[in-house]
Structure formats: C-alpha cells, structure tokens
Amino acid sequence: MAPSDFKNADIDAIVESLTTDEAILLTAGVGFWHTHKIDRLGVPAIKVSDGPNGIRGNHFFMGTPAKCLPSSTALGATWDTELIEEVGLKLLAPEAKLRSASVVLAPTCNIQRNPLGGRSFESFSEDPLLSGLLAAAYVRGTQNGGIGTTIKHFVGNDKENDRQGYDSILSARALREVYLLPFMLAQKYAKPWSIMTAYNRVNGVHVSEDPLILKKILREEWGYEGLVMSDWFGVYSIDLAIKAGLDLEMPGTNKWRTLDLVNRTIQARKLTTRDVRARARTVLELVKKCAAGAPEILDGDGLERTVESAEDRTLMRRVAASSIVLLKNTDSILPLSLTDAAKKPKKIAIVGGNAKAQVLSGGGSAALKASYFVSPYEGIVNAVKEAAALGGEEVEITFSEGARTYQSLPTLENELLTPSGERGWLGTWHSHEDDDSLVPLTTEPIETRVVDETRIFISTSIPAGITRKWTLRLNGTLKPRDKDVDFEFGLTVAGRAKLYVDGNLVIDNWTRQRRGDAFFGSGSVEEKGVYRLKANTKHEVFVEFCNVRGPADGDEDEAVMDSNPGVRLGGADVEDPDALIAQAVQVAKEADVVVAVVGLNGDWETEGNDRTTLALPGRTDELIEKVAAVNPKTVVVTQSGSSITLPWIDSVAAIVHSWYLGNATGDAIADVLFGKHNPSGKLSLTFPKRLEDVASHGHFHSENGAVRYAEDLFVGYKHHQHRNIFAKARDLPAGQSVRLELPLDKYAVSYWEERFGVWAVEKGEYRVRVGASSDNLPLEKNFVIQKGFEWTGI
C-alpha cells in the first residue's frame, strides 16, 4: 500500500485500533521534523519545515539551497492579498514539495507591539486586520497548492527575551481585538490545517496548557478543527497540555510525552486513554489531509532538491520590488535615469556596510541557505550594464563601505578554500573514547565532508553512530590578500572550540567561556583575536570544536549540546573607522549621486533575543550625515525587518525602505531606484521618531516574568489613530485613477464587551475616513447603525 493511500483512511476505525502506546507515540514528534508513523495501521510519517520566508528543509547545517522570500513585514508592506496568495501557491507550496515537507511552519502573525521584538520581521504588521487578511491569503495559497500551513505563535508571543517564561498580561478586550484577531481572521477566511502555540504565558497560564484559549476560544467559538502543535520545546507538562487540547508535542527530541511518562500519568489518573486518543485522532486527521493534498511527497524518496526557473525568479523579483516603500523623494530625484542623457548621472557612488553584504532575512528559524543572492551593489551594477548594452555611455560606479554595520564579524565561507580548491573548508567528525569522554579517538574520522559555510549550526545533523560527545575538526586556507593586513577573527560556539592560524592559537573559546545569545540562546559571546596576514600568502585556518560547553563564570556546568551544537567563524580586515568614513565622504563628493545602503541584518534582528535600540548600528548615522553634507543628491536605501530611527531624514534627498528582500534583493532595489518598478509599498508598521514614541515603551520588557500590556488597544499607529480597513489598487498607469470599494462588515464596528464576553456593535453614528495612509485621510463620511447587536464565533 502506498503511503498516500492514507488519504482514504477510516480515521474512526484507526483510532479504535490504536494501542495505548501507539496513541501516545502519535502525540509527539520523531526527531526534529517528523511525526510518528505506525506501519501496522498504514499510518505514514509527515515532515514539517520552517518558514515563513522560505522552506529550509531538514537541516540547519549544510541545508538545501532554497528560495528566500521577503520578510513578512515586507510582504505586509505590499498590502496585496492577491499577491500573497500567489506567493503561497506558486512559490511556497512548490518549495515545500521540493523539500519533501507536507506542512510549513508558517505564517507568523503576531503583533509588533514594540519594534524591538527580535522576531518582529517574521510577522506581517502591527495592525491586526492587515495581519489577519494577509495571513489568510498566505494560508489559502499554500494550502491550495496541497501543502498544510501552521499559523503561529498563538498568542501574545510579541518579544523574545525570557520567551518561555514570561507572562503576557493584557485585558480581555486587547487580547480579542488586537492579538487574537489575526488568527481569528485566518480561521474565518482560510482554515489553516494546524496552529502552533506560543512559548509564553497569557494572563498566568502557558498557552500550551490553556483550555480557555485552546478549547473555548479556538475550537468552540471559532469552530477550529485542525491540529494544535507546540513550538519547539514549548511544552511544560504532560497532563495539563494534553487536557487543554495540545495535540502534538514538537520536536521528538528530549520530549515530555515518552511512553514511560505518559503511561505513568494515566496510571496516576491524571489522564485517561480517551484524552490521549483524542489528541492522536487530530494528528491522524492532519496526516490524512497531507496524503490527499500532496501524495507525491509521502510516496517520494524523501530527498530535498533545489529547482530554479525563470518564472520563479521573475515572481521573486516582483514580490520583492512590490514591498519597497518610498519614504522621501525631494524634488523627484527618484527614479534615477539611465537612458535620458540630460538626466543620467555620470558617476554613482555606492556607500554603506550593507551594499555588498548578504542580508537576506532576519535570524533564527527563518534563516536558510539561499539558492542565489543579488546584493544591492550587484543589482545597481547589473542595471547600469544592462542600460549601457542598449546604447549610450555606461555610468561609472564607485564604492566605499564607510561604516561597518555587522554585529558579529562576517562569515568566511567565501574567503576559505579546501585543500582541493573548493569553496569552504574540510570537516572531519571524530567519535570519543566513549559517550562520556572528552578525548577523541585517534583512528580515522567517522565522516569527512566539504563544509561550505562558516556559521555551522549543527543541531541534530550529526553522523550516524557517533558518540554522545564528539569532535568536529575544520581545516581550510584563507584566500591570499594583496597586501599585509591585520585580520580580526571571531569565534562563537555552542560547545567549545579553539582557532589556530598557521598552527598558532588565535582564539581560545574552550578553556573558559562567556555565555551569550547565539544558537538560540545556547552559544557563547563572540571571542575575537587578531592575526597578521602576509601579502600573497596562503594562511592555514584550523578550528577544533567539541559539542560540550566549557565552564563559564556563574555557570560551571559543562553541558552536552545534544540538540543545538554550533560553531561560527567570522572575520574581517582591521580598518580605522575614521579612515573608512573619510574614504566614503571623498567618494561621495566626487559623484553626481550617492546611494547609501545601510541597515540591520539577521544578527541584530533574530529569534531568541530582542533589540536594545532602534538606532542603526555603529557609526552609520554619522556616515549618512557626513555624506549628505558633501552631496545633496544622497539617496538612502535602508534594510531592516522592523522599525529603525532616521535622525538624518531632513538631510538626505530620498529614502527607500527595502526591508529584508531575500534572494532578489539587489535586483528589486535597482528596479525601484531606476524606475522599472513603482515603489507602491506602504509601511506595515510605524516608524517612530524615537523609541520613547512607541506606545509600549517603558513596559515592553519582562519584570520578574511579567510583561504588562499597559498600552492596551493602542498599539502602533493606533496610538495616534483608530482602526484600519484597506483595499489595493494595482497596475495603475500614471495619471489614471480607479474606483475602489472598501466593504464594511461587522468587524469594522465591533468591540469586545468584557462584561458579557461577546462582540458588541452599538447603535449610533460612525465616521469613516479614507486616504492613502493613516496620516493622510482627507475623505470623510458618516453612517448610522439603527440597531445594535451582539455576536460570538467568527
């Protein structure tokens, strides 16, 4: 029987046939990414994979190259439900099939109550209506392609620090009208196959154990019939979570729901077999949907593949360009002309630390290995060359970094070569004398492979048969420099490691360590060391890594990293910061136009920890002020997944915000700068003038585990205006207009009546204001509701 034949399964009969142990096994994962299979009953395993801006596949380490889409805030800036549905159907669903994944762990539709939230880039918007309708479009498109979605993180998961312990304390009205509403709209309009609980508590109860949220609201009020799964390691009990309705614990590594513990809980009469079978039934129902939706996955070989097409690249580029927001355009300096000889600049200076950097997405589980990437610098250069090929003189491009923007030193996969000349370095895995020994065997390595990355999050992707404690040795040659230079290396580990260059110890992140936030909170801080590189010389780089933490002040435990070991090597030439800025100023002074590409990256915005400031990193603001002072035609392209401050806004000619755009970053930016694509995006969240202007400022952080949502309903722009309804006009020729209809339904006029636990619509006169943005609403009209009413459900 083919695994996909399960699409015809009689779920009632299978549930009746399950042994208690089989039912228990179905309620937790196997490894990191699979559900449990039961061969006896023909139940196949299904595989899930991280989203939301692409489908990574099984492995953080040496993952399958994949399409990286724009961040969710970028997709939110399109305000285009049709486009997002197309993304789900034509990009996400096919990518999931290429990764052999039946379910994607996306979309994320939490609310950016504060842009400091480390995963703000993963959610669509601070507005619950926009977030919910875009989430519904994402779900609809992907599921119409036969792939299940997992809308997350349900609910109140709006910051990262202390995320497994903090308690989101908020009013019933704010919970309903702001934080639950996106999930409610997604259920109403798209019916996701699964939903993922948040790590945190809401009003005192962990969501994964909360019958009010999981049973009363989700299943009873909203009529949800899909599966509820935990976030990874987001289960904190056996009986409470099962009784509350948490169907599937993920992952299967280090799980609570072992046969021993669940059986003991049943024997103690804290659970019944009926409770467990109810959870197992929902898992089986999801498997049946997956078997029907994409049978080729379950019947396939399980291998992950990469496929690119011209059509995919075109759509990726269009989606990226559609998300870009034009924030300022003094004297219509944009678009820059490459065809009109009278307007075409002779020289364009590109400055900024992000211009040549690979800034794809935010960090954490959203990160993946891109199948291709076009930097902003490359995109601009390509556009200039294409225009010149059509006739005319080619515009000269100059470049200066100006100010560095990275938090951790840049990875070195493009700077290292293996002994045979391949990109990267050679990795050898070594078992130890036994599972508890720190001494590697002197025999031949258990595995040898080329590793083409220097941020190596191994997770559980270790060789079969290796001991519990093990060693990975990495050898490579640094590409020669054309002059003598001091080179600064940075070594970060979840485990322990030493870096040697030419046999000389440069960094010891082994003997004593300092705990940090890397590798989902398991890593050290980045330890640094400087080594003098000689011109035209190949320098040997060697890292010895062991998956056992070193002792640290305040934490002497030498814990085994069994599910999250990792090592990261970065580096860069040592430069004088003053000289870098001076070089950029000189380059800018000599150009007709300056394009400054600056911003954040996946180190600054990442899962696991929150930002501490909205400011751009390092001396970026100083760079822009000084460049603009010598060249009034300065165009700033900013990259970030969430809000940043722009203290130089009055000094520059134009500002283009480009979020994180994925594979097509540079091409999309060039399309907007040179007029191939109209920058029709609108901000999906508020950019405050200063951090103090954010409504949740002063009560965003956890105080002994309590996060108080004191701003209540007034999140983001609603700190200044009221609620939002929108419609999208697309492909509108210049100078023309189109009539748009914005239907007002009960959601537009309802509020949560806390006293009675219902949605209420009051009779009376209401005012509608219409315009191009929340601060420009010139049209007004009133309407009257003659009779109020109450409602529940969706």
Torsion angle of the four alpha carbons 543, 364, 314, 676, in this order, in degrees rounded to the nearest 10: -100
Structural tokens at position 7: 């699409």
CA nearest 400: which of 362, 349, 357?
349
What span, in angstroms and rounded, lies between the C-alpha atoms of 780 and 784? Answer: 14
Could you tell me the domains of the chain? 43-254 (3.20.20.300), 310-404+576-680 (3.40.50.1700), 416-573 (2.60.120.260), 743-791 (no CATH)
CA nearest 84: which of 120, 145, 124, 134?
134
The H or E element spanning position 620 is helix 620-630
CA nearest 158: which of 573, 685, 587, 675?
685
What span, in angstroms and rounded, lies between the C-alpha atoms of 33 and 56? Answer: 11
Task: Please report the pLDDT score of residue 720 as a whole number.
Answer: 66
- Backbone φ and ψ for 419, nearest 5 degrees, come out as -55, -30
- In the block, residue with structure tokens 């001396």: 619
Structural tokens at position 714: 């007034």
Structural tokens at position 491: 């070594």
Q: Please state the pTM of the whole predicted model.
A: 0.96
CA distances 50 to 146, 151, 646, Å, are 17, 12, 33
Task: Please report the pLDDT score of residue 779 as a whole number.
Answer: 92
C-alpha angle 138-57-39 in degrees, rounded to nearest 5: 100
Query: β-pairing, 654-657 with 325-329?
Result: antiparallel
C-alpha angle 176-177-178 in degrees, rounded to nearest 5: 100
Give the 3-state DSSP-derived string for 120-172, with helices as H, strands as E and coil as C. Answer: HHHECCCCHHHHHHHHHHHHHHHHHCCCEEEEEEECCCCCCCCCCCCEEECCH
- In the block, residue with structure tokens 């040592």: 574
The H or E element spanning position 486 is strand 485-494
CB 387 within 8 A of CB 337: no
What span, in angstroms and rounded, lies between the C-alpha atoms of 412 and 519? Answer: 18
What span, in angstroms and rounded, lies between the C-alpha atoms of 639 and 347? Answer: 23
In 294-336, where does DSSP find H-type helix? Answer: 295-298, 310-323
Residues of the chain with pLDDT below 50 are none
> pLDDT tens digits for 522-550?
999 999 999 999 999 999 999 999 999 99
Task: Please report the pLDDT score of residue 721 as a whole number.
Answer: 67
For residue 239, indicate whether it is catalytic.
no
Sign for the pseudo-dihedral over CA of 169, 170, 176, 181: negative
**Is the bond preceding 153 in cis, omega lying within 30 degrees of 0?**
yes
What span, in angstroms and rounded, lies between the C-alpha atoms of 505 and 482? Answer: 24
User: Looking at 231, 275, 610, 667, which residue is catalytic?
Assistant: 231
